[in-house]
Amino acid sequence: MPITGILVALVTPFTADGSAIDEANLAHQVERMVAGGIHGIVPAGTTGEFTTLTHDERKRLTELVIAAAAGRVPVLPATGAQSTAETIELSRHAQDAGAAGVMVVPPYYDPLRMHELRAHLGAVGAAIDIPIVYYNVPGATGLRLTPEELASLGEIRNVDYIKDTSGDFSSVSALLLKYSAQITAFNGWDTLTFAALATGATGGVWGMSNLLPSLSVKLYEALAIKADLELGRRIWDVLWPVCDLLESYNYVAAIKGGLDAIGESAGPVRAPLQPIDAATQERLGQLLREAQAFEAGL
């Protein structure tokens, strides 16, 4: 299946006490995304709270999302871990479960040097037969690569894509306009989505799409398919305030607060994360309702 368009960085629903994955709710969230026209699903990433999931929970989450998607859209679980061995194990498991690809964030405690990163990704790429999306998130990993270095990762077996969450549009522009033949870039920074799509990004891996899936898709279609800049700007006018608010707070907590505000709760965030305050949730809910009303009038 093609890996393009809007890939939702899916939330992980938890039971009320946060002790377990809410499997029924997870199936519901996947169905919402598919019904909204989302082009692919990335479970167990940052928005999916992978850092608080056990090894077994990550595997179970992958299996559940692939089963719920039922071949309708590609699923690319995030399989990055602190060791190469565990990353390989999670990636092989994802492939065996039916994943279309995997997203790999590098170890994020002790930043790797370039030759170590290449060895790490090379070992993962040699162990599987599905594409790898390299998750470039220097704010979390401490690993800051130039556009040329990022593009060079495309030389590694199966490393075909990048999710760029650097927040550096100069770097994104170089990836899209200078190095597109070497690696395919997805945007991963919410407030840069319009600019990245207008510049030619293949798509985005987007946590905000949990809240407004169909409007996210409409933005992509306006800019990447129809080349309708006027429509794209109108849609972005209502999406940007949502993205701006999400980036101003703990992102995962804000996403889950937004889902609560629109009646699509995915349960609590896991500690040590804490929910957003009531005033912020009310403001976010207002923005989401305004966006839904705008979409209904399109």
Q: Which residues are annotated as catalytic?
A: 135, 163
Measure the CA–CA gap between 99 and 129, rounded to whole angstroms: 11
- Helix or strand (DSSP H, E) at 160: strand 159-164
Q: DSSP 3-state assignment of 262? A: coil
* β partners of residue 78: 103
Q: Are 255 and 210 in contact (CB under 8 A)?
A: yes
Handedness of CA 232, 235, 238, 244 (dihedral sign): negative
Measure the CA–CA gap between 167 and 31, rounded to whole angstroms: 30
Question: Residue 295, class by beta-carbon neighbours within 10 Å (0-12 exposed, 13-18 middle, 19+ buried)?
Answer: middle
**180 CB-near residues (< 8 Å, 6+ apart):** 200
Q: Distance from first CA to last CA of the chain, Å, rounded?
A: 29
Residue 154 C-beta-side C-alpha neighbours within 13 Å: 17
Q: Are 234 and 279 in contact (CB under 8 A)?
A: no
**17 CB-near residues (< 8 Å, 6+ apart):** 268
DSSP secondary structure, 54-70, as one string: -HHHHHHHHHHHHHHHT
Question: Residue 272, class by beta-carbon neighbours within 10 Å (0-12 exposed, 13-18 middle, 19+ buried)?
Answer: exposed
Strands 102-104 and 132-136, by their bridges, are parallel
